[in-house]
Structure 1
Amino acid sequence: MQKQASPEEFALKETTPKIAGSRAIIDGDKNMCTYDLVEQMNYLYVRIVKARDLPAKDLTGSCDPFVEVKIGNYKGVTKHFEKTSNPVWNYVFAFSQDKLQGTSIEVMVKDKDVVKDDFIGKVTFDLVDVPRRVPPDSPLAPLWYRLEDRSGQKIKHGEIMVAAWKGTQADEVFPDAWHSDAAVVGSDAITKIRGKVYMSPKLWYLRVNVIECQDLVPSDKSRPPEAYVKVTCGNQAWKTKPVKGESPMWNDEMMFVVPEPFEEPLVLTVEDKSEMLGKCVLPLSMVSRRMENKSVSPKWYNLEKHTLVQGEKKETRFASKIHLRICLDGGYHVLDEAAHYSSDFRPTSKQLWKSSIGLLELGILSATGLSAMKKTKDDRGTTDAFCVAKYGPKWVRTRTIIDSMSPKWNEQYTWEVFDPCTVITISVFDNGHLQGGKDSSIGKVRIRLSTLETERVYTHSYPLIVLKPSGVKKMGEVQLAVRFSCSSYTNMLHKYSLPLLPKMHYTLPLSVNHLDILRHQAVQLISVRLGRAEPPLKKEVIEYMLDVGSHLWSVRRSKANFFRMVNILNGVLAMIKWFDHVSNWKNPITTVLIHILFVILVFYPELIFPTMFLYLFFIGIWQYRKKPRHPPHMDTRLSQADAVGPDELDEEFDTFPTSKPSDKVKMRYDRLRSIGGRLQILIGDVATQGERFYSLLSWRDPRASALFLVFCLLAAIALYVTPFQIVLLICGFYLLRHPKFRSKTPSTASNFFRRLPAKTDCLL
């Protein structure tokens, strides 16, 4: 058994960074970020645009120019161009003013050579003469400067266009600039360390209903074909069951996840054992789109078939046909995250989107005490840290700080908020791209927006906790500043009465197993698309952010969910124990008061419900003083990570399927993990419902608690003035109402309850 760590080691700490923290401006559709959630960092920017008429240095009468910018001990280099006298670089260098030791900026143009680079010319600027630019001022216009030789004399040919100014990280060139605190010399490494904003591709559910085929012609006509249809879209493939006959009927429905813009077509092949009886290729751009549960008309498509004649493919004149119903369902939300941690619930189709309710601003300040993730050539531990945050389809990545256990990013990002019951995920990684390896995870933070008060700036240092085969380990801390600004409080409160998912999920629901398969496909598609960016957001980063593999069996997770359920039942047990004390006269005064209350309620039953709601109202008011002041964070004790045994960890980090040598043990072990995983999810869902019930009066979500207390007060008044028999009649007729008067979407009360926060946000 691993030694338990002290709770203080993994505690959330409130910080006081030097930030302005003023309110963001929300002006219609334009979200203006004031960049006030981070500490101001002063930079000296040098922009190298281009050069012209450079003198030749090679024997061939040309040059291979590049620029070297040097300030004190810092040096930045652009890429070189081969055999040109008029290169265009358009590079921006950002030097941290806090670490500058020089008094001048030296911009040198050199000729790339195999042995030693040749000097072409230079331009020098005094730092005191460099102007300061404050956004949103107009960008500083670059100017042409005549190059000088080493002695300071103007050369006959050669000019360079340069601009230099002083600014902060709020400058628009900051994300794409080369940074001196990155400590990487060379232009090729700039793209590997710079920050980036990514957008997930728009994902659609593609529904394919294979109905039937007609006039299939197999090569072996002595027997009827036993045909099946293979449907392929990219790397996703499904098969129908085989059916005998020349006109088989399947009526099988299958679904795919496809990203827009559509690159891969839908390919259907009708096969009989090893023989292809026909093929149909359909571009997805021609497929009809639907926004709600309306029937789509099926269509007949020709099946192409080629035969080999003297080694050449020739298309047969007679074409078999296939009957299909195909559509792109835009009324669903394509799940790419775990349902408990989802950051977006909007449907795919933009026509169904509602207006935003506010703005989420995140300031990624710094990290402290990071663990060494790799070793340098001199066997010294080092970390090249960057931070990734995801909310909705927007991913952000900070620049990489090279060789630092306490990196300072001070970068601020904004997102539009369409639902308060969503979660933003922030993770810290070690950049393995510089060495050609994988990015390693350092820790993760999840923050549910509904647990935040509007317009308040939360500045905390969150522990970065990772579970390893050796046990739970704190990898450091990350300092964040978060603000949730509301543009319409009425619209935000109205969200609590709406279904969590789009209407299509209830009118035409998908099974849980089907959603899991589609979610896996969505994650793979996002990994492929974002992996094409520069710098790429690698697959291991995306899978860690989206909690891939969290559904697998784990003794630790099952124990955590079990104890969550025990904590819920403790409240019921406490009430039973209290009643036992009352009935046994442990406290005579309390027992006498209960007797008096019981007599009153028996003779005046109309006071039962008003008394109950009034009691809940006063409990909620009393609990307000215990309202949580800080957002939730990863809890090692709740996750059972601080008391997990080595054998349980060995099982949790085992591969799936298991790598055990015995085939029989492998089969039984995998079956046990599969069944255990389902039970684990079931127990967790039950615990979640109980935690949501307790959160009604806990003020974990201040808006939901306020709404519930207002409801309790109004219900108490309404039930007081309404005869008890009328209340029972209304409730009875409502529960027994005809199905015609029942809606397929969940009720307002159900929607409100499902939006309440639970402790799932605190689980590792």
Structure 2
Amino acid sequence: MNPLSAPHHQEDYKLKDTKPQLGERWPHGGIRGAGGWISSERATSTYDLVEQMFYLYVRVEKAKDLPTNPLTGNCDPYVEVKVGNYKGKTKHFEKKTNPEWKEVFAFSKDKIQSSVLEVFVRDREMVARDEYIGRVLFDMHEVPTRVPPDSPLAPQWYRLEDRRGDSKVKGEIMLAVWMGTQADEAFPEAWHSDAATVHGEGVFNTRSKVYVSPKLWYLRVNVIEAQDVEPHDRSQLPQAFLKAQLGNQILKTKLCPTRTTNPLWNEDLIFVAAEPFEEELVLTIENKVTPAKDEIMGKIRIPLNKFERRLDHRPVHSKWFNLEKFGFGVMEGDKRHELKFSSRIHLRACLEGAYHVLDESTMYISDQRPTARQLWKQPIGILEVGILSAQGLLPMKQRDGRGTTDAYCVAKYGLKWVRTRTFLESFNPKWNEQYTWEVYDPCTVITLGVFDNCHLGGNEKPASGSGAKLDSRIGKVRIRLSTLETDRIYTHSYPLLVLSPSGVKKMGELQLAVRFTCLSLASMIYLYGHPLLPKMHYLHPFTVNQLDSLRYQAMNIVAVRLGRAEPPLRKEVVEYMLDVDSHMWSMRRSKANFFRIVSLFSGVISMSKWLGEVRYWKNPVTTILVHVLFLILICYPELILPTIFLYMFLIGIWNYRFRPRHPPHMDTKLSWAEAVHPDELDEEFDTFPTSKQQDVVRMRYDRLRSVAGRIQTVVGDMATQGERFQALLSWRDPRASSLFVIFCLIAAVVLYVTPFKIVALVAGLIWLRHPRFRSKQPSIPSNFFRRLPSRADSML
């Protein structure tokens, strides 16, 4: 038995209700959302989901007329801001008496143990001690307090004093000093006393930032045919195929079945492209000379801006493109080439609005809007998340011979990613940062992950002993918005669980405050009967293999783009947040999905047992009542359907008392992570392809994992459908259950007053209606059913 599955460990894996001292509604000057600025009025209240924290802010703007060193004749100035034992330094300038720093320092008020703020201006010396130029002193009791949306405090010029403060020295410095909170505009860009040990470029990696994923598009290229392609050896007709490359994505058509100079393919090649379009589409027609040799017969580069953007189902016109063929023996440095206008290719290509589901696992969709902003609807709600703190984090690396953790939190919803500041050397960091997202669909998931920052420039080593300098995973939380009641503040402590080769391990707890505010109840109810994705997705669907490939390419594009930000959101973080390995084979996941299906049939088994008890008169009163009901339904068959719907209505009303009071969380028992066999974990954490030595075993093992991974996904999808059926009356989604219960009541009344023959006739005619009267889009019941929550959100 796995020791982690002992009873005293199971309690640690549960969600805990907390009662943090949240701040009252204190103002803020607006929040930047993925779709634009969100006003304070629109967000109903801002910065009331976190504990209010005060900071002493010092903005160092610039200095003028600084004296030069009498020995060197130069001045290399920098500013040192000191409050008690905390010191912050600006960058230094070489040979400049009028420097401009424009840097902000933030000192946590709770850790200030001095009543004096000292601002020193020094001259940096390479050999000797830095030269003292002057200083400015501030009494902490005289520092003003600034509360947004008040305008920022205007900086002032201050004359520098000598060490004793008796006289003024040459030079002035422009400063602004005020007391504020984490709602201040200067908070994200400030140097924080919590990161006082970090210097240089490492300071950028400690700051809180907001990131936006690139806008993704499908590039659909329908390769129709080519004309007059000639091989090098003209005595033999070519067997042609086309290779298309966009960045790192390479796709090929099949070989033309006949050898001809006018090959015909008529194949679709699908790529993922991101704005701004930096790559070109490179098309190459090649001849399969031998199984191991291909020769180029023509090539063309097409900028993506030349393709039209298709926002609806209107047809795209095909075009002919002339190919380049290098007819000369090109010497080094010789750029000459011959344009063969008789060789050309026939294409039908367009850019289609991709859906942000591409860079995510299909189980955890956080955005279902098309790329084209013209197709966006109005937001139906506001999601506010207060990232309060973490408790009981484990040491993730070694620094100076002791274990430590430098934790930060990342939240991802829709196009918007947020990253909190890094809290240094603390197992109980308190971030108290609040972020806001516009919600366009409630049936979406927000993902939050906690990581250990390994890019601070210090001499630290990972606790695992590996030399890789990657931000370590501490844990992850997923919350489905449809399971939240509107306008209610959820304050819970979520266990941070990570599955390792040794088993499931609790890395700490993450404390959150979450509120989902509804802006339009009518629009939200309308969405439950609306298709999940735009119309183009259903008119031109992709195959399973295409979706897997596109999702992988989209993840790489998003990781590369976010990695180019400052500070970068690194690839290991993006992959973990997007569950990039969720489709890989795992015996543990397969078992979990199998038992999810088994649990679905528990209700059927219970019903059969109850019928058996009725049949054998275990409870005479119940058996007599069943006989009476049976006789009534036989005599009045028109009551069968109303009775069924009325029964479901009563069950739904009864289950309302037992509805979940908190969002779902990671369930180790459901994930089959508590009692997993070590050999199964070794298989799950094995590389793909496998690292086994025998070639035959590797081939068979990889094939088994590939096939079993697909079976695992299908089994999981079957379990998801059954769990959605259970969710109709379980009130996991309060709005969906309310709609279904009301529908059951109306259906019961309508079916009671309507003759059964008419109902059967209408239902049969609708079911057998002509295809002309059928829509290619899913029906309202299908859309409603697909939006119901499943227990996939609780899978680890």
Give 1:96-135 correspondences, 5 Å limit. 96-115=108-127, 116-135=129-148
What code does the residue aligned with 1:721 have? V
What code does the residue aligned with 1:351 have? Q
| Equivalent residue number for residue 320 of structure 2 | 300
Which of 29, 51, 68 in structure 2 is aligned with 1:39? 51
1:410 CA drift (Å): 0.1
Which of 255, 276, 290 in structure 1 is aligned with 2:296? 276
Which of 253, 257, 263 in structure 2 is aligned with 1:248? 263
| Equivalent residue number for residue 425 of structure 1 | 447
For the 8 Å contact 2:49–2:434, the answer to whether it is kept is yes
Report the CA distance shift for 1:58/1:576 in structure 2 as closer, same or farther (over 3 A).
farther
| Equivalent residue number for residue 478 of structure 2 | 446
For the 8 Å contact 2:216–2:354, the answer to whether it is kept is no
Give the unaligned 5+ runs of structure 1.
none
For the 8 Å contact 2:408–2:421, the answer to whether it is kept is yes
1:290 CA drift (Å): 0.4
What code does the residue aligned with 1:397 have? R
Which of 45, 57, 70 in structure 1 is aligned with 2:82? 70
Report the CA distance shift for 1:317/1:509 in structure 2 as closer, same or farther (over 3 A).
closer
CA distance in structure 2 between the partners assigned to 1:553 and 1:129 by the alignment: 64
CA distance in structure 1 between the partners assigned to 2:698 and 2:618 by the alignment: 57
1:267 CA drift (Å): 1.1
What code does the residue aligned with 2:431 have? W
1:322 CA drift (Å): 1.0
CA distance in structure 2 between the partners assigned to 1:58 and 1:744 by the alignment: 84
Give 1:591-670 correspondences, 5 Å limit. 591-670=623-702
2:198 maps to 1:182: no
What code does the residue aligned with 2:87 have? K
Report the CA distance shift for 1:211/1:29 in structure 2 as closer, same or farther (over 3 A).
farther
Which of 200, 206, 222 in structure 1 is aligned with 2:213? 200
CA distance in structure 1 between the partners assigned to 2:535 and 2:355 by the alignment: 8
What code does the residue aligned with 2:263 have? P
| Equivalent residue number for residue 761 of structure 1 | 793
Which of 400, 416, 421 in structure 2 is aligned with 1:394? 416
What code does the residue aligned with 2:517 have? S
For the 8 Å contact 1:121–1:148, the answer to whether it is kept is yes
Give 1:46-445 correspondences, 5 Å limit. 46-57=58-69, 59-115=71-127, 116-243=129-256, 244-273=259-288, 274-308=294-328, 311=331, 312-319=334-341, 320-330=343-353, 332-333=355-356, 335-377=358-400, 379-435=401-457, 437-445=469-477
What code does the residue aligned with 1:748 have? I
| Equivalent residue number for residue 517 of structure 1 | 549
Report SS of the residue matched to 1:726: helix
1:275 CA drift (Å): 2.9
Give 1:548-587 correspondences, 5 Å limit. 548-587=580-619
1:507 CA drift (Å): 1.2
1:753 CA drift (Å): 0.7
Report SS of the residue matched to 1:324: strand
What code does the residue aligned with 2:19 have? T
What code does the residue aligned with 2:386 have? G
For the 8 Å contact 2:202–2:455, the answer to whether it is kept is no
Once the two structures are superposed, what CA deviation does each residue of 1:590-636 show, in whole Å capped at 9, x if it has no partner? 11111111111011011111111111111111111111101100000
Select between 65-74 and 222-231 the one with higher mean Cα deviation.
222-231
Report the CA distance shift for 1:333/1:152 in structure 2 as closer, same or farther (over 3 A).
closer
For the 8 Å contact 1:67–1:107, the answer to whether it is kept is yes
* TM-score normalised by the chain length of structure 2: 0.94
* TM-score normalised by the chain length of structure 1: 0.98
Once the two structures are superposed, what CA deviation does each residue of 1:434-472 show, in whole Å capped at 9, x if it has no partner? 248210010000000000000000000000000000110
2:712 maps to 1:680: yes
1:149 CA drift (Å): 1.9
Select between 523-532 and 103-112 the one with higher mean Cα deviation.
103-112
What code does the residue aligned with 1:190 have? V
For the 8 Å contact 2:323–2:339, the answer to whether it is kept is no
Once the two structures are superposed, what CA deviation does each residue of 1:135-175 show, in whole Å capped at 9, x if it has no partner? 11111000111112212244553211100000110101101
CA distance in structure 1 between the partners assigned to 2:24 and 2:536 by the alignment: 41
Report SS of the residue matched to 2:328: strand
For the 8 Å contact 1:531–1:538, the answer to whether it is kept is yes
Report SS of the residue matched to 1:296: coil
2:562 maps to 1:530: yes
CA distance in structure 2 between the partners assigned to 1:21 and 1:687 by the alignment: 43
Give the unaligned 5+ runs of structure 2.
31-37, 289-293, 459-468
CA distance in structure 2 between the partners assigned to 1:8 and 1:267 by the alignment: 57
CA distance in structure 1 between the partners assigned to 2:6 and 2:372 by the alignment: 48
2:767 maps to 1:735: yes
1:32 CA drift (Å): 6.4
1:30 CA drift (Å): 5.3
1:119 CA drift (Å): 1.4
Report SS of the residue matched to 1:339: coil
Report the CA distance shift for 1:138/1:739 in structure 2 as closer, same or farther (over 3 A).
same
1:512 CA drift (Å): 1.6
Report the CA distance shift for 1:105/1:718 in structure 2 as closer, same or farther (over 3 A).
same
For the 8 Å contact 1:230–1:269, the answer to whether it is kept is yes
1:185 CA drift (Å): 4.4
What do you get for the CA RMSD once the two structures are aligned? 1.7
CA distance in structure 1 between the partners assigned to 2:42 and 2:646 by the alignment: 44
| Equivalent residue number for residue 9 of structure 1 | 12
Report the CA distance shift for 1:305/1:130 in structure 2 as closer, same or farther (over 3 A).
same
What code does the residue aligned with 2:643 have? T
1:230 CA drift (Å): 1.3
1:504 CA drift (Å): 1.3
1:313 CA drift (Å): 3.5
1:110 CA drift (Å): 1.3
1:333 CA drift (Å): 4.9
CA distance in structure 1 between the partners assigned to 2:598 and 2:231 by the alignment: 63
1:21 CA drift (Å): 6.1
CA distance in structure 2 between the partners assigned to 1:299 and 1:136 by the alignment: 56
For the 8 Å contact 1:553–1:677, the answer to whether it is kept is yes
Report SS of the residue matched to 2:456: helix
CA distance in structure 1 between the partners assigned to 2:416 and 2:356 by the alignment: 15
CA distance in structure 2 between the partners assigned to 1:687 and 1:498 by the alignment: 23
CA distance in structure 2 between the partners assigned to 1:332 and 1:185 by the alignment: 40
What code does the residue aligned with 1:487 have? L
Aligned length in residues: 763
Report SS of the residue matched to 2:606: helix
What code does the residue aligned with 1:13 have? K
1:506 CA drift (Å): 1.1
For the 8 Å contact 1:332–1:504, the answer to whether it is kept is no
Report SS of the residue matched to 2:761: helix
Report the CA distance shift for 1:94/1:331 in structure 2 as closer, same or farther (over 3 A).
closer
Identity over aligned pairs, percent: 63
| Equivalent residue number for residue 752 of structure 1 | 784
CA distance in structure 2 between the partners assigned to 1:309 and 1:736 by the alignment: 68
| Equivalent residue number for residue 291 of structure 2 | none
